[in-house]
Amino acid sequence: MTPPTPKIRLFVPDRLTAAARVALSRGQAHYLGHVMRLDVGDGVLLFNGRDGEWSAEVETVKKNQCQVAVLRQVRGQAAEEGPWLAFAPIKKAGTDLIVEKATELGASWLCPVFTRNTNAARVNRDRFRARAIEAAEQCQRLTVPEVAEPVTLRELTDGWPKQRRLLVLDETGAGAPIAVVLKGLRSDERDATQPCGFLSGPEGGFDASELDALRKLDFVTTVGLGPRVLRAETATLSALACWQALIGAAR
């Protein structure tokens, strides 16, 4: 009889090879020992974004300390070329939701952007990263999206790679329907191999001057998400869900 597949998945920074020993973080050790009550010999899954997914076995578990022995690779590393997401930070719960759901929906790069109507004065990258790791562990990804240093809108567009299309979620309703734009990308050979990015605005929306400037950029397409006024986080997740259904699933 084969033992049941271990269900707990943990992201670790360490290199993963057969017979390697990995010392888990205090938080992970607490989670395994106290929350999940794992014991010596119990199995977990590990991934690091580079070496695929590995089964491992608890060797020692004490108060906030846990060492696991890496056993064998269960999935090889695969490229996970999801879309980029630049987003204006909104209220805490909404931003956390964006980071968590964007990870589930396959985004590969998350970049907080300060726009004119953005209320948040600063962001906590460590919290975003912890949220992204937790979501990646849960949704079976083999990578964790990179959480970039926050930038201003001007810095974002100045540094944007010109061959990557940037779909701006335009809450004024003036943008092209998202399904039409995504289908257009898919039929364009160059764009299909070069994933796109999305930009979502703050609670108050983009300033009219920001939208004007964005529309003048060659690599920008403004897109609309239907007749209703969506909250910032709803618009962001809708766009990523459409990307998965229309581009991600077609790969």
* Residues in contact with its own copies by the rule CB under 8 A: 97, 101, 104-106, 138-141, 177-179, 225-231, 234, 237-239, 241-242, 244-246, 248-250
Residue closer to its own copies, measured from CB, 70 or 239: 239
Shortest distance in whole angstroms from residue 20 CB to its own copies? 26
**Residue 229, phi-psi category: left (phi > 0), alpha (psi -120 to 50), beta (remainder):** beta
Do 113 and 150 contact (CB within 8 A), yes or no? yes
Shortest distance in whole angstroms from residue 49 CB to its own copies? 15
Contacts of 64 by beta carbon, 8 Å cutoff, 6+ apart: 26, 29, 30, 33
Do 113 and 153 contact (CB within 8 A), yes or no? yes
Shortest distance in whole angstroms from residue 69 CB to its own copies? 26
**Which amino acid does the sequence have at 16?**
L
Residue closer to its own copies, measured from CB, 28 or 236: 236
Shortest distance in whole angstroms from residue 41 CB to its own copies? 26
**Which amino acid does the sequence have at 248?**
G
| Segment 56-62 long-range contacts (CB within 8 Å, at least 24 positions apart) | 56/22, 58/32, 59/21, 61/29, 61/32, 61/33, 62/29, 62/33
Shortest distance in whole angstroms from residue 50 CB to its own copies? 19
Shortest distance in whole angstroms from residue 232 CB to its own copies? 11
Distance CA 142, CA 108 (A): 11
Residue closer to its own copies, measured from CB, 101 or 156: 101
Residue closer to its own copies, measured from CB, 157 or 170: 170
Residue closer to its own copies, measured from CB, 208 or 245: 245
Residue closer to its own copies, measured from CB, 154 or 231: 231
Phi, psi dihedrals of residue 159, rounded to the nearest 5° = -95, 0
